[in-house]
């Protein structure tokens, strides 16, 4: 059984002093609590501290290596989840108001479903029948607005040796690091951003790692020696070639789809001693039984695989996840939307860590929610109450606190410019301000997976 002390003992050596080590323990315990808002003020009060300075020091200026903690947690995850799982890559956005945070610019983000001022992070999730957890993260830095401007990068705390990398390149780095660290994953899954990158696919094939990656309908593949768009191929699939498989449990019951597949391309340029090509490639097509909407996946495996095995990997990408973006998304269906909380340092660069959760739910990350700004409070003396009945715990003119940033929501998160709610100064019996959008459900970074035993042709994790 996974215990809190086991996890803290694994990472305790990464903190050179006892003070940040104790603060990290209190911080993580606060993240596991039932607090509605998990910012530095609330977490400090929960830990019995008189001020949030210790929490802020841990996240902003304390000396500890986030990548080393990542490595410790990765080994912890491997020990408890085992091997032969699926690596899922996906990006998510963090809506921003200013332009000082590293990587921020106006760009499309699935968090809002449109072009917004935001940061983009690429995340790697590992999932097995025993559970799932975040393994790694990378911050996407645009080339023109950031990498080409060394002064801006220096002001935001971006290391000077940082070079530009596309999102698929960042995903390839994380997958390679996980495999080099001893993780024996058998599959990789991702959305269209990654499925259409030939370099990522080539890297996985060289390592003989199977993949099921979403692709766009206008992508051309070789079918019987003829290049065709995958959308055109789907129009010619006969009715007898569609097979029904369940893609997990939805809000209104089981989600059933029709699936079809076809061998694509020829044998790879490399061949083994028997003269066989370097693996097998398929085009996987998913059709919505109600609307007829189509989705396409490019698949690879070093050995022959049945259709049910590819479907299982595809639904792991689109099935329930530790956390989901709020708002619509064009291509991503929510695999690595689970993400660690990102703590903003004064320089604007992000220090990111993540925690697993065992099968009984004893450990998890829950995204903190920044306090709501009371605009009506502007200019009023301290201690008075607004007409709407706001608690007098709002401290006018107080500087905003660098608290744990919340994952992206449907609407941009408010920026604390006027006041920060102090639970320590809130009168006895005063109610805590509620979020305009209601409480955020607690995402489990590591939680038991639903079994897909309803698939008629395969009842095992992998054939």
Give me the mean pLDDT over the 55-68 stretch: 90
Nearest to 265 by CA among 217, 218, 301: 301
Residue 201's nearest CA partner among 187, 214, 211, 216 is: 211
Report CA torsion sign: 109, 254, 298, 313.
positive
More confident residue, 83 or 333: 83
Q: Which residue carries 């109450």 as its tokens?
A: 385
Cα–Cα distance for residue pair 313/457, rounded to 1 Å: 14
pLDDT for the residue 441? 41
Judged against a pLDDT cut of 50, whether residue 422 lies above it is answered with no
Q: What are phi and psi of 389, to 5 degrees?
A: 80, 30
pLDDT at residue 32, rounded to an integer: 84
DSSP state, 143?
I
Phi, psi of 391 (to 5 degrees): -65, 140
Section 104-132 average pLDDT = 91
Higher local confidence (pLDDT), 403 or 203 = 203
What is the C-alpha to C-alpha distance for residues 97 and 99, in angstroms, rounded to an integer?
Answer: 7
Residues 6+ apart with CB under 8 A from 73: 7, 10, 11, 133, 353, 354, 355, 356
Whole-angstrom distance, CA of residue 88 vs CA of residue 388: 46
Note the pLDDT of residue 325. 37
Q: Taking each helix axis from N to C terminus, what angle separates 18-31 and 4-11, rounded to the nearest 10 degrees?
A: 140
Higher-pLDDT residue of 128, 381 = 128
Cα 142 to Cα 140: distance, rounded to the nearest angstrom: 6
Segment 423-443, tens digit of pLDDT: 334 444 444 444 444 443 433
Which residues touch 447 (CB under 8 Å, ≥6 apart)?
131, 132, 322, 357, 359, 361, 364
CB 83 within 8 A of CB 183: yes
Interval 149-168: pLDDT, tens? 999 999 988 988 999 999 99
Contact 267, 277 (CB under 8 A): yes
CA distance 381 to 422: 16
For residue 448, name the pLDDT band (cuts at 50, 70, 90).
Answer: very low
Q: How far is CA 65 from CA 12, 13, 77, 353, 401, in A?
A: 11, 10, 18, 10, 22
Residue 295 has pLDDT above 70, yes or no: yes
The conformation of residue 239, written as its DSSP 8-state character, comes to: G
Read off the tokens for 459.
């009842």
- pTM given for the model: 0.66
Q: If we measure between CA atoms, which residue out of 353, 358, 354, 388 comes closest to residue 374?
A: 388
Residues 254 and 252: their CA atoms lie apart, in Å, by 7
Give pLDDT, residue 4: 81
Summarize the confidence of residues 328-339 as an average pLDDT. 32
Q: Please tell me which residue, 317 or 220, carries the higher pLDDT value.
A: 220
* Predicted local distance difference test score (pLDDT) of residue 252: 85
Say if CB 401 and CB 369 are below 8 A apart: no
Q: How far apart are CA 204 and CA 313, in angstroms?
A: 15
Query: Which residue is listed with tokens 């020829």?
Result: 266
Can you spell out the DSSP letters for 65-108?
-HHHHHHHHHHHHHHHH-SS-EEEEEEEEEE-SSS-STT-EEEE
Report the C-alpha gap between 333 and 121 in whole angstroms: 16
Q: Which position has the higher pLDDT, 405 or 285?
A: 285
Helix (H, G, I), strand (E, B) or coil at 293: coil
Query: How many residues would you count in the chain?
Result: 463
DSSP 8-class letter at 377: G
Residue 18, pLDDT above cutoff 80:
yes
Domains of the chain from N-terminus onward: 66-318 (3.90.350.10)
Band (369; pLDDT cuts 50, 70, 90): very low
Secondary structure class of 322 (helix, strand, coil): coil
Beta partners for 287? Answer: 258, 294
Q: What Å distances lie between residue 4 and 10, 73, 134, CA to CA?
A: 10, 13, 17
Asked if 397 and 419 count as a contact pair (C-beta separation under 8 A), the reply is yes
CA 366 to chain centre: 12
Confidence of residue 224 (pLDDT cuts 50, 70, 90): confident
In the numeric block, the tokens 């097998």 are attached to 280
Tens-digit pLDDT profile for residues 84-110: 899 999 999 989 988 888 999 999 988
């Amino acid at each position: 059984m996974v215990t809190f002390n086991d996890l803290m003992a694994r990472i305790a050596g990464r903190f050179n002093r006892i003070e940040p080590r104790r603060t990290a323990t209190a911080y993580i315990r606060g993240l596991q609590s039932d607090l509605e808002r998990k910012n530095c003020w609330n977490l400090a009060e929960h830990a019995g501290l008189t001020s949030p300075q210790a929490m802020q020091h841990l996240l902003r200026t304390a000396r500890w290596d986030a990548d080393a903690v990542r490595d410790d947690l990765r080994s912890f995850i491997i020990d408890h989840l085992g091997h032969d799982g699926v690596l899922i890559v996906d990006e998510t956005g963090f809506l921003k108001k200013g332009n000082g945070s590293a990587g921020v610019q106006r760009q499309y983000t699935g968090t809002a479903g449109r072009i917004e001022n935001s940061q983009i992070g690429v995340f790697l999730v590992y999932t097995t029948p025993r559970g799932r957890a975040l393994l790694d993260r990378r911050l996407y830095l645009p080339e023109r607005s950031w990498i080409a401007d060394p002064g801006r990068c220096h002001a935001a705390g971006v290391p000077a040796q940082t070079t530009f990398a596309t999102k698929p390149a960042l995903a390839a780095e994380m997958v390679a690091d996980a495999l080099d660290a001893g993780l024996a994953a058998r599959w990789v899954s991702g959305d269209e951003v990654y499925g259409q990158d030939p370099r990522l696919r080539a890297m996985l094939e060289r390592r003989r790692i199977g993949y099921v990656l979403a692709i766009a309908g206008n992508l051309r593949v070789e079918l019987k020696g003829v290049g065709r768009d995958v959308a055109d191929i789907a129009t010619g699939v006969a009715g007898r070639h569609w097979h029904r498989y369940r893609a997990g449990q939805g809000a209104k019951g089981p989600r059933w789809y029709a699936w079809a597949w076809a061998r694509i391309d020829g044998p790879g340029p490399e061949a083994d001693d028997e003269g066989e090509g370097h693996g097998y490639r398929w085009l996987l097509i998913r059709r919505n039984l109600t609307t007829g909407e189509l989705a396409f996946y490019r698949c690879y495996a070093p050995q022959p695989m049945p259709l049910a095995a590819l479907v299982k990997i595809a639904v792991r990408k689109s099935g329930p996840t530790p956390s989901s973006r709020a708002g619509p998304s064009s291509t991503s269906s929510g695999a690595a939307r689970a993400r660690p909380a990102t703590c903003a340092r004064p320089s604007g660069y992000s220090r990111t860590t993540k925690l697993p959760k065992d099968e009984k739910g004893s450990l998890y990350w829950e995204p903190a929610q920044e306090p709501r700004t009371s605009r009506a409070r502007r200019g009023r003396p301290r201690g008075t109450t607004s007409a709407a009945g706001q608690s007098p715990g709002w401290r006018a003119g107080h500087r905003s606190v660098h608290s744990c940033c919340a994952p992206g929501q449907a609407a941009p998160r408010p920026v604390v410019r006027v006041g920060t709610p102090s639970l320590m100064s809130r009168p006895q019996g005063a109610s805590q301000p509620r979020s305009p959008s209601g409480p955020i459900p607690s995402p489990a970074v590591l939680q038991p997976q639903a079994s897909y035993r309803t698939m008629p042709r395969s009842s095992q994790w992998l054939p």
